[in-house]
Structure formats: structure tokens, C-alpha cells
Amino acid sequence: MLKRVLVANRGEIAVRIIRACRELGVESVAVYSDADAHAQHVALADRAVRLGPAAATESYLAIDRIIDAARSTQADAIHPGYGFLSENPELAEACERAGLTFVGPPWPVIARMGSKIEARSLMESAGVPVVPGEAPEDQSDAGIQDAANRVGLPALIKASAGGGGKGMRQVTTSEGLLDAIRAARREALGAFSDGTLYVERLIRDPHHVEVQILADAHGAVIHLFERECSVQRRHQKVIEETPSPFVSPSLRDRMTSAAVTAARAAGYRNAGTIEFLVEAPGAGGEAQFYFLEMNTRLQVEHPITEAVVGVDLLHAQLQVAFGTPLPWTQAALSQRGHAIEARIYAESPARGFVPQAGSLLLYREPRMPGIRVDSGFAEGDVVSVHYDPLLAKVIAHAENRDQAIRRLIAALRGFPVLGIETNVEFLIAILEHPQFQAGNVDTAFLDRQTDALAAAARGEIPGAVRAALDAHARGSSAHSVPGSAPDWDPWSSLRRGTRM
């Protein structure tokens, strides 16, 4: 087994990886920026190395500094987590040069899948359905315009290097085409230094369904079923679940075998995800699905698969990286019950989801049967402006979908996070929405319903809240310790003394 793994990430995923290492008897090395010197992942790891200032480009994105940290601590592997450098082939390549094991696929695979145009043509040649479209040789405005006209409007102009909705424009009329092409190219050049564009037919109100796959170094490729991720705002997932309430058994069979085909075609190794768009079936027809992209890393939403399939994907990742064959065969895997994940973000749903920063004055994770919370923060921690505003993920697992929804709502209603605005109330409003409860939510749902959901989350201020606020005010004036409980608590004063 690996002896010492450097975790090139922060927040909840770094904590998750460090815990998995500990379970397997593998030492962990955390890395951190100045903004994270007191972060949970730093305290939890066996060792920690400072990378640099808060700016990600000088810390979590600095490949040289991360490789140096691995060398100086004699780590034998690097786990990139998700985001940051996880899908940057240069980190994986630098690992190879430095004689380190990269916990992920070989770097040429990351590079190939990172080019949406290359990934598209590879899938097409492997017989995996792709969205009808065109990647023109002629990359001039006129060349892209011609391609869009051949594909037909409405269409999407997309960046080959794109992701997260950047460098993407929807075009419905030929008058708007030129502006959309220029805007997409400008955004792509700014974000990825690569303005290569392609055109896809617009799939109206699709479902976003992805398939988890796992491949080892001995030629085994298996899938771990699907995840429904259609609850998105501006291309960012908010709630994910498995099994998908939208996917029939026969569609599941077709999609999972296409995903395995795709992973084999890519020469894939370790954990990865094939994202598909699923178009609702026409009258009497079957639902169509199309390859969207491959994520060459562990996903944020991996815990719902772990719950329903009953496996540990982090353990599997580390074992595959070490060269161990996959511990399960496809036939041994099945879906049991239903799992839903809600992402807790420090953000303001009422003000266009503006990220929030500040201190977690009060933060109490729910504990109840069937609830898992993955987080990178604890009470008293500071959420900074420098990184992704994801605070925690709450995952509910139950016998069926209805029970999983109830369980997740109960957990969120019992998860006080105070001091920073979060989306907890917004999440509850989504889970209580009749359309979500009916299992009938496509990727356009959230953007259509945002205002109504944000309003539903607010309402009359309960009398009990007013009464408790009054009591707190009386208590703090009597004891003159602002913000603390009136009765003396050795732990809270210890925390204050040590943290600040």
C-alpha cells in the first residue's frame, strides 16, 4: 500500500481524503495557504506544509510548490481531490516526472478528456452517442456561424476547453449568433487561454445524469450506476440523488454500458464520471441520452453513490493507485435504497447567490440515523473570500426516495449555521417543492423557480425566535460577555483563548 499521501486540496474533500488515509493506515500530508493555516484539514493531517499566500495561483494551484512539498515530506503519492489541479494534466505529468503516484488517471487521458472537441470525437468513434453538432476546422466568426447554421438553431456555442458554463452561449436567433460567438470566444480566452469553439444542437430542458465508473490498472472497468444532478443553478449542482427518479431500468442499462464503453475508449484508470444529457422521450419514443463530458476525478457528489452501492470510493481510489485490482466485480454491485445530497454553500440565494464570507459563530452538524455530513469547517472557523463557498454536504440515505427526502429535510432543519448567510433555507424549499417531490426536475427548473423558492424560504418571523433573541439580549447585558452563553462553559472559553 502507499505509505504517505499528500492531499493537494482544502476544505471538505481534503478532510475526506485524510480520513480515508487514516483508516487505511496511510500517512497524510496536508498543504495550506496562509488563509487556511488554522483550517480543519491542516489540523487533521499527520503533517502539514505551507504552500504560500492566500491566492490560489500561489498556493493550491502552484504545481511546483506542491511537488516540492511532496518531496520534502517524502510522500509517495498525491491526491488532487476535485477542483484546483485535479483535472490539470500538468500536475499528473509533474508527478510522473518526480516519481510520485498520482491518484487519478494517466495524464494523457486527462488532457484528452479536457479537450471537449477531442473527447467528443473519441466518443463518437467508440459508438457512444454525442449531442448532434460540429467542431469546424475554420475557427473564424464566419466558420462558426456556418457550422451553427448547419447544426440548426437553437444551438449552443461552446468552448473546447470549457467547463462550469464558462465560454458557453445559447443562440436562438440568427441575429444573436455573431454576438454569442464573440462573447463565448472572449470568455474562453480569458478563462482557459484557448478560444477554440464548437457548436451543439440545443437539447431543451434536459436532465443531467452521470455514471460513476472505476477502472483498475489490470483492465477491469466497472460502473457504479447513475446520479441525477439536474438541480442546478447556472450550471452548478445543488442537490444530487441516486437512483435517478427519471431513469428507467432499460435506460439505466443503456447508459451504464455506454459509460463503460466510454471509459475503455479513453484508456481510463481510477475513479471517473461520464456526464450525459438526457432528453425526455417524445410520444411513445424512448428517452435519448448524449455524452456531455468526462470528469477525470472524484466528484463532489460521490457520497450518494457510496451510500447506495455500499462501497468506499476513496479506498478504491487509493487501492487502484497502488496497483491493487478492483475489490468487486460488476455482478456484485447493486443499488440499495435511495440517497440524496444537499450542498451547503456560504451564499445569499436572495441576492443572486453572492458568496458570503465571515465567521461561523455557531455551527452544529446534525446527527441522526442515515445522515452523513462531509465538511471542512467547525464552529469558530472563518470562511474566507478566496475559495469555493462550499461549507458542507449533507447526505441522507433511506429505504426509498420519499423517506430520503424527509430525512434530508429533517437534517437541514436541525443544522444551525449562524454568522454567515447560507443556502440552507433555499435547499429546504427545493426539497419541499412539489415538482422535486414528484421526481420531475430538469436542469432548467432551478433557474425558473429561483425567485419563488428564495421567497418561500422567508416568511413570518416565529414568536419563539423573537423571544429567544430577547432572552439572549438580557443575558448578554447581565453578563457583559457578548455572544456567549450566560453560564460559564470551560470549553467555549478554551476555544476562544486558543483560536483567536
Q: Which of 89, 114, 349, 389 binds other proteins (CB under 8 A)?
A: 389
Smallest separation, CB 470 to other proteins (Å): 7
Of residues 384 and 440, the one with the C-beta less far from other proteins: 384
Q: Which of 98, 179, 486, 493 binds other proteins (CB under 8 A)?
A: 486
Q: Residue 371, SS3? A: strand
Smallest separation, CB 186 to other proteins (Å): 9
Residue 342 phi, psi (nearest 5): -120, 135
Is residue 11 part of the contact set for other proteins (CB under 8 A)?
no
Smallest separation, CB 458 to other proteins (Å): 8
Q: How far is CA 185 from the centre of its chain?
A: 25
Smallest separation, CB 26 to other proteins (Å): 30
The DSSP code sequence of 318-363 is: HHHHHTPPPS--GGG----SEEEEEEEESEEGGGTTEE--EE-SEE
Q: What is the number of other CB atoms lying within 10 angstroms of the CB of residue 29?
A: 24
Is residue 122 part of the contact set for other proteins (CB under 8 A)?
no
Q: Which listed range, 93-101, 312-320, 358-366, 440-448, lies at the site for other proteins (CB under 8 A)?
A: 358-366
Q: Which of 482, 497, 498, 500 binds other proteins (CB under 8 A)?
A: 482
Q: Which of 485, 493, 496, 499 binds other proteins (CB under 8 A)?
A: 485
Is residue 283 part of the contact set for other proteins (CB under 8 A)?
no
Is residue 473 part of the contact set for other proteins (CB under 8 A)?
yes
Alpha helices in 152-301 (DSSP H): 177-192, 249-266
Q: Which residue has the cell 483535472?
A: 87
Q: How many residues of this chain bind other proteins (CB under 8 A)?
A: 55
- Please give the grid coordinates belonging to residue 210: 452521470
Check: CB of residue 241 under 8 Å from CB of residue 340.
yes
Q: Which of 483, 493, 496, 499 binds other proteins (CB under 8 A)?
A: 483
Q: Which of 331, 438, 464, 500 binds other proteins (CB under 8 A)?
A: 464
Q: Residue 293, SS3? A: strand
Phi-psi region of 380 (alpha: psi -120 to 50; beta: other; left: phi over 0): left
Preceding peptide of 366 cis, ω within 30°: no
Q: Which of 37, 43, 357, 444 binds other proteins (CB under 8 A)?
A: 357
Rounded CA-CA distance 148/359 in Å is 48
Strand residue runs (E) in 179-315: 197-201, 207-215, 221-233, 236-242, 270-279, 288-295
Check: CB of residue 305 under 8 Å from CB of residue 229.
no
Site string for other proteins, 149-188 (x = CB under 8 A): -----------------x----------------------
- Strand 270-279, strand 288-295: pairing: antiparallel
Is residue 487 part of the contact set for other proteins (CB under 8 A)?
yes
Q: Which listed range, 45-53, 59-67, 261-269, 419-427, lies at the site for other proteins (CB under 8 A)?
A: 419-427
Smallest separation, CB 395 to other proteins (Å): 17
Is residue 416 part of the contact set for other proteins (CB under 8 A)?
yes
Rounded CA-CA distance 97/395 in Å is 38
Helices (H) and strands (E) in the chain, counts: 17, 23
Q: What is the 3-state secondary structure (H, E, C) of 454-495?
A: HHHHCCCCCHHHHHHHHHHHHHHHHHCCCCCCCCCCHHHHHH
Write the single-letter amino acid at 301: E
- Please give the grid coordinates belonging to residue 91: 500536475
Of residues 3 and 448, the one with the C-beta less far from other proteins: 448
Q: Which of 67, 428, 430, 454 binds other proteins (CB under 8 A)?
A: 428
Q: Which of 362, 368, 444, 452 binds other proteins (CB under 8 A)?
A: 362
Residue 286 phi, psi (nearest 5): -100, 150
Q: Which of 37, 451, 489, 496 binds other proteins (CB under 8 A)?
A: 489
Smallest separation, CB 362 to other proteins (Å): 4
Is residue 354 part of the contact set for other proteins (CB under 8 A)?
yes
Smallest separation, CB 92 to other proteins (Å): 21
Site string for other proteins, 313-352 (x = CB under 8 A): --------------------------------------xx
Smallest separation, CB 166 to other proteins (Å): 8
Is residue 127 part of the contact set for other proteins (CB under 8 A)?
no
Is residue 142 part of the contact set for other proteins (CB under 8 A)?
no
Is residue 443 part of the contact set for other proteins (CB under 8 A)?
no
Angle in degrees, 0-180, between the axes of helices 107-114 and 89-97, rounded to the nearest 10: 170
Is residue 299 part of the contact set for other proteins (CB under 8 A)?
no
Kindly list the residues in this chain that would bind other proteins in the complex (CB under 8 A).
166, 190, 351-357, 361-362, 364, 385-389, 409, 412-419, 421-422, 424-425, 428, 459, 461-473, 475-477, 482-483, 485-487, 489, 492
